[in-house]
Amino acid sequence: MSTRRGSKNSSSQDFDPTPSLGKTIQRLRKAYNMSLGDLSEHSGVAKSIISQIERNETNPTLSTVYRLSRALDTTIDEVLRTEGAALFLEHQTKSGVPILESQDGLCRLAIAGPLNLVDQVQWYDFRAKEGGVLESDPHPQGTVEHLYILAGELDVTTGEETRRVKVGETLRFRGDLPHKIVNVGAGDAHATMMLVLRQLGSADNSG
Amino acid sequence: MSTRRGSKNSSSQDFDPTPSLGKTIQRLRKAYNMSLGDLSEHSGVAKSIISQIERNETNPTLSTVYRLSRALDTTIDEVLRTEGAALFLEHQTKSGVPILESQDGLCRLAIAGPLNLVDQVQWYDFRAKEGGVLESDPHPQGTVEHLYILAGELDVTTGEETRRVKVGETLRFRGDLPHKIVNVGAGDAHATMMLVLRQLGSADNSG
DNA sequence: AGGTGTTGTTCGTTATAACGAACACCAGTT
DNA sequence: AACTGGTGTTCGTTATAACGAACAACACCT
């Protein structure tokens, strides 16, 4: 009944406490556009360990998970939460920040802006492979979305209207409606996306 | 103290990831009336380790925390949740099972019945030191509470009415009202308490 | 092509989490 | 009082989580 005796590949006896942990860490890391080295430096955890954790090859310590969680701006229990695997789009949250990522790798939306501004403005790096589609649920009322195309060609549909945008162009549209972005160009598409949230109080950023 | 050997910058990121973990584990263990040995056997974790975890003298592995969580009929999530320390009564939940315990040790309500019947009947071992008071919020509509006194003398107040019960007596009263049990005897009091929940559908124990 | 910087992985070493057995402690019993 | 069965703690050993450095795989330059 030894749990740890030969546990290398003995994944049968006591099944993985958190089968999704590795995947979750990796998803968050990528969503923040961090390399293993970045995350290592930022969290204080050796990158070799992070690599192993992501591949579920080790059985991390609480302190390790904790440090990673902090570096990823979330909490231990968020990270450990065994959420059902996402189908196409999944969105993590914590402070309401959507981190979108397509499972098949067609699209990725990575957080680019500073985390502490998350309540006012959210700033993403959007990349889509050929044919990639990103569908978004409506953001909060009053949200305005800006899209600046760095590469490729996109169709943006918001509400009933569709617009085509190319490299160098900027599109500004309502983010509080369901919207969809399709990479209609020949290769990869790349854009900077900014969400400006409606300011409610406006006086709340002290301290 | 240090998380590990000379860590990068052992400044702020080093504080205990889960200062409450040890306390939580211990509280749950005691609430289930388990000894370290019992929990060890039930969870597969060495009792020496459990002891150290409870005293926050080690930095457990996820798998360890996981096994403990399972044995305590809860999830890693619940166990790690940094809840504010309880004042007088605190109640853990998971499946709705109240585990009541007085911080100062005057009263303790320990789960006695099998966990899988938790939806139909909850069965506790109640102990109170001299002067101990247990106040309960109302249980779900239709709940009937039974109290069988094993030792001591208690005053039970439910709604507006108060009854005094002594050794050997049984009291049956509505549990869906706020109620209070006071140890009015000279020494410790001891009773078996059973909550019979109102059966709603009765067809829901498949899984 | 051959650097050059990046990525993630592998590898040997060290610190330590987990283990089991021995220990100390206390309450009940004879 | 000594004994007994239970509690929680300690102690030496073993397996391994975490580490850093060396490695490999890939892209991007010049």
CB contact under 8 A, A62 and B63: no
Strands B179-183 and A161-166: what pairing? unpaired
pLDDT band at residue B204 using 50, 70 and 90 as cut-offs: very low
Task: Say which residues have a Cβ less than 8 Å from residue A16's Cβ, sequence separation at least 6.
Answer: A56
Q: How far is CA B35 from CA B48, B51, B72, B105, B113, in A?
A: 12, 10, 12, 17, 16
Residue type present at position B14: D
Please tell me if residue B86 touches chain A, with a CB cutoff of 8 Å. no
pLDDT value for B47: 94
**Residues of A with Cβ-Cβ distance to B60 under 8 angstroms:** 61-62
User: What is the CA B35 to C1' D15 distance in angstroms?
Assistant: 27
**pLDDT tens, A64-118?**
999 999 888 788 877 887 654 332 233 334 444 555 665 455 777 776 655 555 5
Does the nearest atom of strand C lie within 7 Å of A51's Cβ?
Answer: yes
**pLDDT tens, A173-194?**
887 787 888 888 877 888 878 7
Distance CA A90, CA A30 (A): 14
Which two structure tokens, joined as six digits, stand for A70? 């902090």
Closest-CA distance, A118 to chain B, in angstroms, reads 22
pLDDT value for B93: 44
**Residues of A with Cβ-Cβ distance to B6 under 8 angstroms:** none
Distance CA A34, CA A183 (A): 24
Q: How many CB atoms lie within 10 A of CB B20?
A: 17
This prediction has a pTM of 0.63
Q: Which region among A123-137, B1-15, B130-144 has the lowest average model confidence (pLDDT)?
A: B1-15
Q: Which nucleotides of D are covered by protein (CB under 7 A)?
A: 6-12, 15-21
Distance CA B1, CA B6 (A): 11
Query: Are B80 and B65 a contacting pair, CB within 8 Å?
Result: yes
Query: Which residues are bridge partners to B104 per DSSP?
Result: none
pLDDT value for A180: 84
Residues 26-55 on chain B lying near strand C, CB distance under 7 A: 44-49, 53
Query: Are A81 and A28 a contacting pair, CB within 8 Å?
Result: no
**Residues of B with Cβ-Cβ distance to A4 under 8 angstroms:** 63
Q: Return the closest-CA partner of residue A54 out of A92, A91, A18.
A: A18
